[in-house]
Amino acid sequence: MTATTTEAATDSYHPARIEPEIQRRWEQQGAHRAELGDGDKFYCLSMFPYPSGKLHMGHMRNYTIGDVISRYLGMRGRHVLQPMGWDAFGLPAENAAMANGVPPAKWTRDNIAHMRSQLKSLGFALDWERELATCDPDYYRWNQWFFLRLLKRGIAYKKTGVVNWDPVDQSVLANEQVVDGRGWRSGALVEKREIPMYYLRITDYAQELLDSIDQLDGWPDNVKTQQANWIGRSEGAEISFACGDETIKVFTTRPDTLMGATYMAVAAEHPLAREAARANPALAAFIEQCQKGGVSEAELATQEKLGMDTGLKAIHPLTGAELPVWVANYVLMGYGEGAIMAVPGHDERDFEFALKYELPIVQVITRPDGAAYDAQVWHYDYATKTGQLLNSGPYDGLSCEAGFQAIVNDLEKREAGRARIQFRLRDWGISRQRYWGCPIPIIHCDDCGDVPVPDEDLPVRLPEDLVPDGAGNPLARCEAFVNATCPNCGKPARRETDTMDTFVDSSWYFLRYTCSNNDQAMVDEHTRAWMPVDQYIGGIEHAILHLLYARFWTKLMRDEGLVDVDEPFSRLLTQGMVLAETYYREDESGRKQWFNPADVDIERDDKGRFLRAVLRDDGQPVEAGGVEKMAKSKNNGVDPQALVEQYGADTVRLFSMFASPPEQSLEWSDAGVEGAWRFLKRLWAGVHVHLEAGGTDRALDTAALDDAGRELRRLLHEAIAKVGDDYGRRYTFNTAIAAIMEFSNHLNRYQQAATADRALCQEAWSSIVRLIAPVTPHIAEALWQALGHAGSVFKAGWPEVDESALVRQTVTLVVQVNGKVRGRLALAPDSPREEIERQALAEENVRRFTEGQTVRRVIVVPNKLVNIVVG
């Protein structure tokens, strides 16, 4: 091979020419239409995108992972369904409308059209005939229909809930819209406000959702752990404390510490607190103070603990002692009973509160090793259940477990309490005071109350021409929408203007893909045939909420007789985020201006270490701000479309699969993309060098191969085995690609020799092309054809591993002395232990380290390692 041949062959790789042509061919042939048939189905689902405007790297990575798995299993003969759709309702469309006056519907549909064409240019094997968008009435009518079934079953119900209220904009704010306790647009201090909302009784399914986590063998442990912790089953007791004529009911996981209860604390919204505040202006002011701030748990958990004595006394159910009742901002209405018994001796939050307000702290559980109790400083072991009870009267000396039982028994006898199981999980509030969402199909009638919209009147259509302005829900001001007739009595009535949480939309879209053109039913027999989803792929940020709601919704539909699976997703892959370097300059006022990495050049020293970064436009330095998640705010987003135009889809796909394993975060690197591009050029050139050398039609005669040929063929079949394992079992596409690169380096070297076996080269290139096809489908199609094969590479099947090619003549064993590598041995595989020991001890460098020492032990790991322990 001469340099000029390579150059000519390299220069002839033109992705911009071949990719659109191959995509056209796939489309004409309906290559990606999902059809059931003989053999196993494979439903491969990637989380559908929110149509935010254009595809970002996270999407690109997500869908490439799904495409690699789909195409790989398609080549192995599975009937693959890989659909795509749009999570099209939500806040960003309303924000965009406020910014530029375009109705959310138009903005959303324009974005969908653009992003669809972007997805197509990336060559994903998607079945577009099943496309759906959650903002289409054909989709959301089934949200409404199913909601009405849930209402009938009592799973959906109405109660009040607490929301963030912006008193200036007169609007409910999302947690995201509360910044440092203020509304993001008005800057007003946010308040808590109680409003009526619809809820779904997910707590009825808490135990099942927890138990069936065990069935999720194909889910990562960290996600399963997070879900289990979120559901948070705890065994404890419900205890009633008399308080005047009222009763304060609390739940505690530690009834064994009941004798250490020194005060009670109730939430600011608790009826007793409100009652006490009527005669106590200071308390009323404090309760009002507690209404300030947002409702997010992170905010509540980190705020300073504040409280005030109500003056009320509660009676301890076992001792009859009077306990002061406090209002405390760390007790939350809506979590448990909105009241707690405080045991500052053994609960860290109560301890902190008691120290601050000088409430008594009593030790009722011994510490390990009889250590003394220090009521000034919290120690971690105070909260453990390892000690015995003390200062607990008749219960002294009992273990925590026995104390738990004894105290609960006594409470039951006095009818002051009972054992109870409590979940951390709360019912799912689905009402949103927003326009761009699925209308809740309810009509409010003065006479008949809340009346469900009859099935035949569904869908309740969302008007699509409204433009939100940030002050409340425009639906509520849309008379044409609000004015309705009561389905019950026929009198004028008002339509519900709340819409559903967008998590409702995304809780069953995977079911709808199986039958998206059915306008008679929510799901059908195709759903039963395709479900469950065999592989689900999406961002780790959805580990709890979306995945839990989708599991819940599936069980609801099962109990309605609509689907027959208990769990929707057999196997789950959670991809990490896509990151990029950030660059900025700071002006005098400390404000940072962010520059896109594409506009910045890096200067390095002669060892390749980073020296400084300069802006290409003015040659002046910029600061490196570290690697962060790609985001508009840091201007570090890299546009996949621009890269596709520059390098082609295959290069972008290759880099995003090669740069890191899917579960880890991926750091974007233009130089890395350049490397992927170079590899594809070398691959193209390597095949063409082979073809120019004559290719071959001759069958491979493995018996006739020389040593170099046998070695190359062993490496080939090792690579085939490794790549199949990486694609199919490990999902480590980076190592699969590394193995393909490594082997093609060997092959390029091998085929330059005059003695190279052309039939072996033909086998090798034809195999490599199939191995890389799931990642870079366009170049694979083109090279498959160039190698003289008819039809699509994706119909060619997966290369078989020839076990006989894997046999080695020798293996290399490492020889260690006291755990340090001192030499290597080349031996026949599975050599006898005595032979290995003899040769290891005879090795020259090994002898230097064993000389004059006693050999105490020799450890042999077959075909791998010998460790000689001396001393």
Nearer to RNA, 280 or 669 (CB): 669
Interacting residues with RNA between 135 and 194 (CB under 7 A): 161, 163-164, 172-177
Pick one of 214, 221, 358, 519: the residue that binds RNA (CB under 7 A).
Answer: 221
222 binds RNA (CB under 7 A): yes
**Shortest Cβ distance from residue 564 to RNA (Å)?**
27
Measured distance CA(311)–CA(287) in Å, rounded: 14
User: How far is the C-alpha of 53 from the C-alpha of 652, rounded, in Å?
Assistant: 20
Q: Are the C-beta atoms of 751 and 686 separated by less than 8 Å?
A: yes
Q: Which of 279, 298, 377, 699 binds RNA (CB under 7 A)?
A: 298
Distances from the Cα of 383 to the Cα of 253, 257, 597, angstroms: 11, 10, 49
Subset of 325-344 contacting RNA (CB under 7 A):
none
Distance CA 679, CA 370 (A): 67
Is residue 715 near RNA by the rule CB under 7 A?
A: no
In angstroms, rounded to a whole number, what is the distance separating the alpha carbons of residues 608 and 803?
43
Residues 432-451 that bind RNA (CB under 7 A): 432-434
As measured in angstroms, the least distance from the Cβ of 142 to RNA is: 18
Q: Based on CB atoms, which residue is closest to RNA, 446 or 541?
A: 541
Q: Are 133 and 49 in contact (CB under 8 A)?
A: no
Report DSSP state, residue 214.
G
By CB under 7 A, the residues from 28 to 57 that bind RNA are: 50
Q: With CB under 7 A, what is the number of residues at the site for RNA?
A: 112
Residues 362-391 that bind RNA (CB under 7 A): none
CA distance 264 to 308: 11
Residue 773 has φ and ψ, to the nearest 5°, of -50, -45
Taking the complex as a whole, the smallest distance from the CB of residue 297 to RNA amounts, in Å, to 4
Classify residue 37 by its DSSP letter.
-
Q: In the bound complex, what is the minimum distance in angstroms from residue 86's beta carbon to RNA?
A: 9
Q: How far is the CB of 741 from RNA (least distance, A)?
A: 4
Q: Does 568 sit behind a cis peptide bond, omega within 30 degrees of 0 on the bond before it?
A: no
Q: Is 425 in the site for RNA (CB under 7 A)?
A: yes
Beta carbon nearer to RNA, 23 or 660 = 660
Virtual torsion, Cα 357, 359, 362, 365, nearest 10 deg: -50
Q: Name the one range near RNA by CB under 7 A: 18-26, 285-293, 488-496, 671-679.
A: 671-679
Contact between 725 and RNA by CB under 7 A: the answer reads yes
The enclosing H or E element of 672 equals helix 670-692
Pick from 318, 364, 741, 756: which binds RNA (CB under 7 A)?
741
544 near RNA (CB under 7 A): yes
| Alpha carbon distance 382, 386 (integer Å) | 9
H or E stretch covering 327: strand 322-328
CA angle (825 as vertex; 823, 827 as ends), nearest 5: 170
Which helix or strand (DSSP H or E) is residue 236 part of? strand 233-243
- What's the longest Cα–Cα distance across the chain? 106
Q: Which is nearer to RNA, 175 or 388 (CB)?
A: 175
By CB under 7 A, which span of 2-10, 142-150, 337-345, 365-373 interacts with RNA? Answer: 2-10
Cα gap 393→320, rounded to integer Å: 13
**Per-residue mark of binding to RNA, 800-839 (x: CB under 7 A):** ------------x-x-x-xxxxx-x---------------
Nearer to RNA, 29 or 664 (CB): 664
Which of 87/496 has CB closer to RNA? 87
Minimum distance of RNA from residue 633's CB (angstroms):
12
Angle at which helix 777-786 crosses helix 758-772, to 10 degrees, equals 160
Residues 54-113 that bind RNA (CB under 7 A): 87, 89-92
Tokens representing 814 are 């490492």
Among 160, 253, 296, 596, binds RNA (CB under 7 A): 296
Min dist. Cβ of residue 305 to RNA (A)? 10
Q: Which stretch binds RNA (CB under 7 A): 283-291, 321-329, 448-456, 738-746?
A: 738-746
Site string for RNA, 585-624 (x = CB under 7 A): -------------------x-xxxxx--------------
Least Å distance, CB 448 to RNA, is: 25
Cβ count within 10 A of residue 426:
14
DSSP letters spanning 519-575: SS-SS-HHHHHHPSBSEEEEEGGGTTHHHHHHHHHHHHHHHTTS---S-SBSBEEEE
Query: Candidates 279-287, 409-417, 658-666, 755-763 — which segment interacts with RNA by CB under 7 A?
Result: 658-666
Say if strands 865-870 and 855-861 run parallel, antiparallel, or are unpaired: antiparallel
Q: Does 527 bind RNA (CB under 7 A)?
A: no
Decide if residue 653 touches RNA (CB under 7 A).
Answer: no
Which one of residues 191, 496, 501, 757 is an interface residue with RNA (CB under 7 A)? 501
CA angle in degrees (0–180, nearest 5) for 50-495-550: 35
d(CA 232, CA 537): 25
Query: Sign of torsion, CA 140 143 146 147?
Result: negative
Nearer to RNA, 551 or 722 (CB): 722
Q: Which of 43, 658, 750, 798 binds RNA (CB under 7 A)?
A: 658
Choosing from 56, 141, 682, 713, the residue that interacts with RNA (CB under 7 A) is 682
Q: Closest CB to RNA among 521 and 826?
A: 826
Among candidate residues 718, 722, 739, the one with its CA nearest the CA of residue 730:
722
Pair of tokens at residue 472:
């409340």
The pattern of x and - marking residues 743 through 772 that bind RNA according to CB under 7 A reads --x--xx-----------------------
The residue (of 10 and 762) whose beta carbon lies closer to RNA is: 10
Count of residues making up the chain: 871
Residue 409 or 812: which CB sits closer to RNA?
Answer: 812
